[in-house]
Chains A and B, each alone.
Chain A
Amino acid sequence: MTRSQKIEEKFFKLLMIVATYFILIILAIIIYSIFEKGLKSISWEMLTQVPQGGYYYGKGGGILNAILGSLALAFGATLLAFVIGMPVALYLNVFLIRHKRVISIIRFLLDLVWGIPSIVYGAFGFSLMIFFGLQTSLLAGILTVTLFILPIMIRSMDEILCTVPIGLQEAAYSLGSNKSEIAFKIFTRQSFSGIITAVLLSFGRGIGDAAAVLFTAGYTDHVPNGLLEPVATLPLSIFFQLSSPVAEVQNRAYASALVLTLIILIVSLFSRGLGKRYHKTKINF
């Protein structure tokens, strides 16, 4: 290695190390501040009660309404987006294999709508609701969030399905498999852990977004009790609590953020476990 190569190697290695630790430290600070402020205010009462009168000015109660609302909304939307998104991703990769141009146009469009800010989905959902005469409700929220996370779901699955080796496809076709068998028996198995990751990513985006649900899911101090009733969500709950002039309520906002973080943590741990079970059969090429 020449001298300049050595310097180059050192420089880039240093750059990578610095960037990595920089990001890790920022992440640690965010998580630390959520824990530091949140742990002070988190209590059993907060997790198990709905807001009492004057909750946002420091009176008693909790955020059970928002926890349950967010869970119902995010699970509903993720499930719906999966049911629609999985076939789309499989269709792109198995059935459209001879139409590379069509595939690339669809991918381009999906990447485009991925970039649209969620507030626009919220506004779109809102105008649909007016059209159908629907009120702010869990259903309207689920539908809007589904639209919002669909591009994420489809494109992240698509990226995984793309990596199924052509040799494996040839092997499966040569046995006489038809395209649905290739899609549902080969692609889904080979990409199982990646599909889980796509679902998780979509769930995280869905449960964490405030703007898409602002006009569509509404807000309420009650626990959700039906698809056609408004529901509270954690991001909006955090927003309302942070907007309070009372310092104690602001700390509760951090406690709510902590709850949101923990929900995502639990869901990811669970789905990783699920992914591992199948990972064993995946063939590594």
Chain B
Amino acid sequence: MDQNTKIEIRDLNVFAGKTQILKNINIDIPKNKITVILGPSGCGKTTLLKCLNRLTDLYPELKVSGQILIDGNNILEAKEDIYKLRQQMGLLSQRPYPLPMTIYNNIAYALKLRGIKNRREIHKLVMHYLQQASLWEEIRTRLREPASRLSIGQQQRLCLARGLAVNPEIILADEPTSALDPISSQFIEETFGSLKNDYTIVLVTHVLRQAKRIADNVVFMYLGEVIEQGSVEEVFGNPKMEKTKLYLGGTFN
């Protein structure tokens, strides 16, 4: 295995009943880079992301087969604690889902799951992660308010901070800016840019411009298949496959 590969996906197939959602997926996701999974709606991007942290377990109708190796460890057959495994990955979903508690406790909840019990340390880390998600300055006086009172953009950054608080190595983001205004989207994108030194980021999007702005690597998917993958220069600058060219040209989306 390549030293710089964080996640290897091998022959991944996902069925929902008789419908095949993902067909023979093989992807290498490099360490400490932003890998963008690009494709039109309904191409299986989100399902692929949910396979990575086994959220597919929540959907009894999904049958997953193949291998997903994270640091060489096949998580689809993980004998070890699935709950611990999920902590290796922070998740940012299409729209923010803050937990039904205060802003402070949203982060503290994640820290406690990580096993941190010391109150002073929790206090310090809540501040640290809110700063990392560039939210601290805006809400430092509102920590005891319910998270539901934040704006959508702030909620999404809170979710990012919460995802970072479990101390993951990977960040999974599923169209994290699709519900946000341009300013908040920019915030999130900039934060991703600064996070990639420490984290492996997998971002799902259907927005071409976003992919161009922040991707190091691009995986183009269409109807459950990987059409093309490579560095951003390769895929955008010199696409080999016909479908990729059409998508990049805006012929379909």
> Is A2 an interface position by the 8 A CB rule?
no
Within 8 A of A (CB), among B107-145: 109-110, 113-114
Q: How large is the interface on B (under 10, 10 to 19, 20 to 34, 35 or more residues)?
A: 20 to 34
Q: Which residues of A contact B98 (CB under 8 A)?
A: 171, 283
Is A173 touching B55 in the complex (CB atoms < 8 A)? yes
Within 8 A of A (CB), among B28-79: 50, 53, 55, 57-58, 60
> Is A6 an interface position by the 8 A CB rule?
no
> Is B148 an interface position by the 8 A CB rule?
yes
- With A282-B100, A283-B148, A284-B148 already in contact, the answer to whether A167 and B166 are too (CB < 8 A) is no
Within 8 A of B (CB), among A144-197: 165-178, 181, 185-186, 189-190
A163 to chain B, nearest CB (A): 12
Q: How large is the interface on A (under 10, 10 to 19, 20 to 34, 35 or more residues)?
A: 20 to 34
Is B95 touching A167 in the complex (CB atoms < 8 A)? yes
> Is B217 an interface position by the 8 A CB rule?
no
- With A185-B109, A186-B100 already in contact, the answer to whether A175 and B60 are too (CB < 8 A) is no
**CA of A253 to CA of B94, assembled, Å:** 59
**CA of A134 to CA of B144, assembled, Å:** 53
Q: Which residues of A contact B218 (CB under 8 A)?
A: none
Is B113 touching A170 in the complex (CB atoms < 8 A)? no
> Is A10 an interface position by the 8 A CB rule?
no
Q: Which residues of B contact A284 (CB under 8 A)?
A: 148
Q: Which residues of A contact B148 (CB under 8 A)?
A: 280-284
In the complex, which of the residues A97, A165, A166, A189 contacts B101, with contact meaning CB atoms closer than 8 Å?
Answer: A189
State the majority secondary structure of interface residues on B: mixed
**CA of A256 to CA of B109, assembled, Å:** 49
Is B60 touching A186 in the complex (CB atoms < 8 A)? no
Q: Which residues of B contact A178 (CB under 8 A)?
A: 83
- With A175-B86, A175-B110, A175-B113 already in contact, the answer to whether A168 and B146 are too (CB < 8 A) is no
> Is B227 an interface position by the 8 A CB rule?
no
Most buried by B among A170, A171, A181, A189: A171
In the complex, which of the residues B58, B114, B163 contacts A173, with contact meaning CB atoms closer than 8 Å?
Answer: B58
In the complex, which of the residues B90, B97, B114 contacts A170, with contact meaning CB atoms closer than 8 Å?
Answer: B97
Please name 23 pairs of A and B residues whose Cβ atoms are closer than 8 Å in the assembled complex, sorted by A. Answer: A97-B58, A98-B57, A98-B60, A100-B60, A167-B94, A168-B97, A170-B55, A170-B91, A170-B97, A171-B97, A171-B159, A173-B83, A173-B86, A174-B53, A174-B86, A174-B91, A175-B110, A176-B84, A176-B87, A178-B83, A189-B100, A190-B100, A283-B98
B contact residues vs A (CB 8 Å cutoff): 50, 53, 55, 57-58, 60, 83-84, 86-87, 89-91, 93-95, 97-102, 109-110, 113-114, 146-148, 159, 162-163, 166, 172
A contact residues vs B (CB 8 Å cutoff): 97-100, 165-178, 181, 185-186, 189-190, 280-285
